[in-house]
A and B are shown apart, each in its own frame.
Chain A
Amino acid sequence: MEVLDTVIGFASDAPFDAEIHLLSHAGKVEYLDISPNDVSRRRIRLSTDKGTDCAIALAREQRLADGAVLKLESDRAIVVRLSEQEWLAVSACDQAAALELGYFAGNLHWKVRFDGTILLIALEGPMQTYLDRLEVILAQGKVKVVGPND
């Protein structure tokens, strides 16, 4: 088990960028794939894409993020790779339906973003779970799914 307790820098920032670039070409960078649901954690146990068992244990003031370098040695690096957030995009048929949809999403504590008149719901579980919750207002035609959106 490799204990990783510090974000020592970011792969895109100097002076790490050149180092990580060289190691990457030599196949010496290991990636830890982390989902958006888990990126807030300070502690998590995961395996890298090369199978190294890693225990992340950050101080409270540190945060994981895409490109965070957790280990850098002369012949190896371990870097966080944040997977894409998946979204469910829905739109309301009129203002009254939009109010109802907004209330509904808030009541369910869904994480959302707005794209004009489209409500983007961050999927923290299977999409069907969200569609099940929306079933009634979808069936009533108050709301329609306008697609997954990433």
Chain B
Amino acid sequence: MPKSSIAMELTKTPNKTAARVGIGGPVGSGKTALIEQLIPALAERGIEVAVVTNDLVTKEDALRLQRSGLISPERVLAVEAGACPHTIIREDPSLNIAAADTLAQNFPQADVILIESGGDNLASTFSLDLVDYWIFVIDTGGGDDIPRKRGPGIIRSDLLVINKIDIGPYVGADVDSMQKEASEIREGRPVILTDCKKQTGIKELIDCLVHNVLFLDA
């Protein structure tokens, strides 16, 4: 085949853009605690992180991360929803897009920007204009029937995390049943069990991000 003139003219230029990963889920499911585990575990693999947090009318989650010592405070930005949390991650995510753009501009070497939604309900989903990939976090304390309730967050998320598996026995939650039902409902798409106190499942979760959205496993 003759050489293509167009192909020869195309030059490869590096196009570094940070992946944007949404983390949503009900109030108290452990989204911030999960991020507190992810930040050092990602750093151990040489993955640079920045974070956008969403709260209703405060900057509570941002302050928690900024004071944690896990990440430079300037790498964390807060967005105040002022209304239902899903409105600014789905219907009009412009505030979050602006916050992520600011972090991308200030930290051009960042590999991933985590965008934590405010605590919401099982119907919460992310706009794909905002994120490239999104995680939905539920926990055993919410009841082991949560997967059966089949909210859009459970069905459509790229990755479902069942958190706080350590407290399952104390709240009467059958963790194995939760995992089995969630996998069936999600037709085999990934479900990961986590216990943030013992870092259980964190490596598996990062492996999932590395393969599906960070593309660092080649």
Check: B101 CB closer than 8 A to any chain A CB: yes
Which A residues are in CB contact (< 8 Å) with B217? 1
Assess A1 versus B218: contact at CB under 8 Å? Given A16-B6, A74-B3: yes
| Interchain CA distance A58-B211 in the complex, whole Å | 16
Of the candidates A8, A74, A129, the one whose C-beta lies within 8 Å of that of B4 is: A74
Contact pattern, B 121-149, Cβ under 8 Å of A = 1, otherwise 0: 00101011100110000000000000000
Q: Is the interface of A mostly helix, strand, loop or mixed?
A: loop
Residue of B whose beta carbon sits closest to that of A45: B212
Residues in A whose Cβ lies below 8 Å from that of B20: 42
Q: Is B7's CB under 8 angstroms from A19's CB?
A: yes
On whether the beta carbons of A40 and B17 are closer than 8 Å, the reply is no
Q: Contact: A57 with B15, CB < 8 Å?
A: yes
Cβ-based interface call for B8 (8 A): yes
The answer to whether B15 touches A40 (Cβ under 8 A) is no
> Contacts of A125 on B, CB cut-off 8 Å?
155-156
Chain A residues, CB < 8 A from B7: 19, 72-74
B1 interface residue, CB < 8 Å from A? yes
Known interface pairs A57-B17, A60-B101. Does A44 touch B132 (Cβ–Cβ under 8 Å)?
A: yes
* Chain B interface residues (CB < 8 Å from chain A): 1-4, 6-8, 10, 13, 15, 17, 19-20, 90-91, 101, 104, 123, 125, 127-129, 132-133, 150, 152, 155-156, 211-213, 215, 217-218
